[in-house]
Structure 1
Amino acid sequence: MPRPTLLAVSHGTADAAGAGAIAALVERVAAALPDVAVIEAFVDVQQPDAAELAPTIDGPLVIVPLLLSRGFHVHHDLHGIAKTRRDTAVTAPLGPDPRLAEVLAARTDAVAAPDSPVILAVAGSRDPSSLTDAEAMAALLRARSGRVVELAYLAAREPDLPTALAQHPDAAIATYLLAQGYFFDLAVRQAGGRAISAPLLDGGPVPDALVDLVVTRYRDGESQLA
């Protein structure tokens, strides 16, 4: 029996570099799962739209959110899709996870002094579960890097990044973003020349840790269906 289709759903971006980086991640996942149909879709900005595409896919389906925390898109958009078709599982988003902390620490080490504290800049959401996820990711980065890690939000919550930078003038910025796009551009503008790390997908080779994470999420969803 064929394995369930993997629908890899990201937010979508108008930034060509960001879109290309996420597409490269999906390609690596497809190569790691040669017996699985892997399809890329989006909840905003880009096409195909996940909600429109899902009903056209035959058979069991595992939706993996290429998102870093829980929030509206996971709870409403993706679980909404699962309610409309049989044999559909929605996995946890990518974060929080120690594998993300591994990549974050490497990105931060590339731009920050060894003893520098960091501000973990997250996109932010009004969903209460996103706050829990951000705090958990900050704790994982502290454990992985040994650095002092403070949180800042690029939208929806406080402190915002300029406030956090004023409170921690010696800190570098670790961007907790999947790829380039609106929020990364905003973080760079607000950084005011402060050291800032590249997104998790920086346009170079896709980190093996991220491929492994998506594959793990898929297998979790496959187990749910079984």
Structure 2
Amino acid sequence: MTSPALIACSHGTRSAQGRATVAAIRAGLAEALPGVRVEEAYVDVEQPEVADVVARLAADGPAVLVPLLLATGFHTKVDIARAAAPFENVVVAEPMGPHDLLIEALLGRLADLPEGDSGRRPGDHVVLAAAGSSDPAAAVATRRMRALLEDELPVPVSVGYGAGASPSIPEAVAAARAAGADRVIAASYVLAPGHFAGLVAAAGADQVTAPLGTHPAVIDVLLERYVRAAARPAAGRGAGQLSSAATA
């Protein structure tokens, strides 16, 4: 039996580095899933649009639409769900987060900073810097990630958002300093270079981690989302079957 195609749906970006990062993530998925057709799709900025890709692949057989998005929100609940809705043979996987493996990726990026003890030295404060969304479920998911990250670090962890929710990343950085932090580290909870990564970099933290990018744990999360969705019973494979805050 042929495995369902994997539609890797990301937001889209004008950043050449961001596009290269997302392409490398797709390549990692294809390498881990030999024989599985892996196709790109986007909800904004880039082409091809997700609805067009879903319609084309659904004509050939079953497919799993995997959001390369860290939390639920408008793009998962509307753009992605709407694209899959007409097709019984297309199942939508859960968004990437929250997930324990993404904590592994965040810790890895913290360890990549010039001082490997970043986020572990007394006086440090880590701001989990997320893109943000006006959807309350996205904030719930991000707060869950904050709690999971704080469980792994001996220092305080707070949240800042690039848009759609408060506090903003600069506000969270300023609040950490006002609370007495000696060093504020912005942990970039974004997938790839682009607009939101730029907001994190410009927020005034003492150190800023790289986006999650192609960290092996990112690939593992996406593989898990694909495998779980592909194994969903036929009755549960209807369009837009999204769980907004599932954690492995």
> Match for 2:138 among 114, 130, 142?
130
CA RMSD of aligned residues (A): 1.3
- In structure 1, what is the equivalent of residue 120 of structure 2? 114
Say whether 1:74 aligns with 2:76: yes
Return the letter of the residue paired with 1:197: T
Q: Partner of 1:190: helix, strand, or coil?
A: coil
Amino acid at match of 2:148: L
Could you tell me which runs of 5 or more consecutive residues in structure 2 were left unpaired when the two chains were aligned: 235-248
Aligned positions of 1:56-205 closer than 5 A: 56-57=56-57, 58-111=60-113, 112=118, 114-115=120-121, 116-169=124-177, 170=181, 171-191=184-204, 194-201=206-213
Q: CA deviation at 1:114?
A: 2.3
| 1:114-137 Cα deviation digits (max 9, x unpaired) | 222201111110111101100011
Q: CA deviation at 1:35?
A: 2.0
Give the TM-score, by structure 2 length. 0.85
Deviates more, 1:105-114 or 1:122-131: 105-114
Counterpart residue number, 1:26: 26
* Separation (CA, whole Å) in 2 of partners of 1:10 and 1:107: 21
Question: 2:220 matched to 1:212?
Answer: yes
Q: Deviations over 1:49-102 (max 9, x none)?
A: 111121111111100000000000001111111211121110111111111111
Q: Following TM superposition, by how much is the alpha carbon of 1:194 offset from its aligned partner in structure 2, in angstroms?
A: 2.0
Q: CA 1:78–1:113 in 2, change beyond 3 Å: closer, same or farther?
A: closer
Q: Secondary structure at the match of 2:192?
A: coil
Most deviating of 141-150 and 72-81: 141-150
Q: Normalised by the size of structure 1, how large is the TM-score?
A: 0.93
Over the matched positions of the two proteins, sequence identity in percent amounts to: 37
In 2, Cα distance between equivalents of 1:214 and 1:102: 14
Structure 1 window deviating more from structure 2 (207-216 vs 173-182): it is 207-216
The alignment partner of 2:231 has SS state of helix
Which sits farther off after the overlay, 43-52 or 137-146?
137-146
Query: Aligned AA for 1:20?
Result: A
Unaligned residue ranges in structure 1 (runs of 5+): none
Give SS of 1:44's match: coil
Which range is displaced more, 106-115 or 182-191?
106-115
1:113 Cα deviation from its structure 2 partner: 5.2
Structure 2 letter corresponding to 1:165: V
